[in-house]
Amino acid sequence: MADYVIVRKRIIPDEETELKNDEIICADYERRCIVTRWLPIKPRKDIGWGFSVYYFERKLKISAIFDCKGEFSYIYCDIISSILRNNRLIVTDLLVDVTRDREGNVKVLDEDELQYAISRGLISGEDAKTALEGVRTAVELLEDPEFFPGKELGLIIEPPEGFKRD
């Protein structure tokens, strides 16, 4: 759909990975978001496939994760910053994450990694502020039991090609 590649940039460890196999299935320019579906980069027993909605104004990447049977497992939210450079959408994971399990329990993860990165100067003050503001936004969204990533777009997202149910 789009003529660019998404690059995941991590701070800890310091690495960039082209998400070449992520399929962009929707780009909603009015809402400033894109939707991708994907298989895990490395095979996993707990994740069969997923789809992600990148909400650029909210600075969130919210993913619906499905198990190897194709059943919904949980929602995982990365706090992000992003930049489009040439044909590369570089999405930086700002370390702290928020999840919601099937039962609706919301958890904030990796606050210790964020504190470590701040104390070592691995993350800018602006990105640290974005991460903390993003946590508040993500918790607020995920505490709403009606929230599901991409629901507002009215999409029905099927597993990507190559997904094999266990």
Confidence of residue 2 (pLDDT cuts 50, 70, 90): low
Residue spans per domain, the chain: 5-153
What local confidence, expressed as pLDDT, does residue 128 receive?
96
pLDDT band for position 83 (cuts 50, 70, 90): very high
**What average pLDDT does the structure give for the chain?**
94
Q: Which of 11, 9, 8 is nearest to 113 (CA)?
A: 11
Q: At 90, is the pLDDT very low, low, confident or very high (cuts 50, 70, 90)?
A: very high
Q: Domain 5-153 carries which CATH code?
A: 2.40.380.10
Measured between alpha carbons, how far is 50 from 70 in angstroms, rounded to an integer?
9
The whole-number average pLDDT for the span 103-113 is 97
Give the pLDDT of residue 3. Answer: 73
SS3 content of the chain, % helix, strand, coil (to 5): 20, 40, 40
Q: What confidence tier does 159 reach under pLDDT thresholds 50, 70, 90? A: very high
Short-list 56, 51, 9, CA closest to 31? 56
Helical segments of the chain, H only: 111-119, 125-143
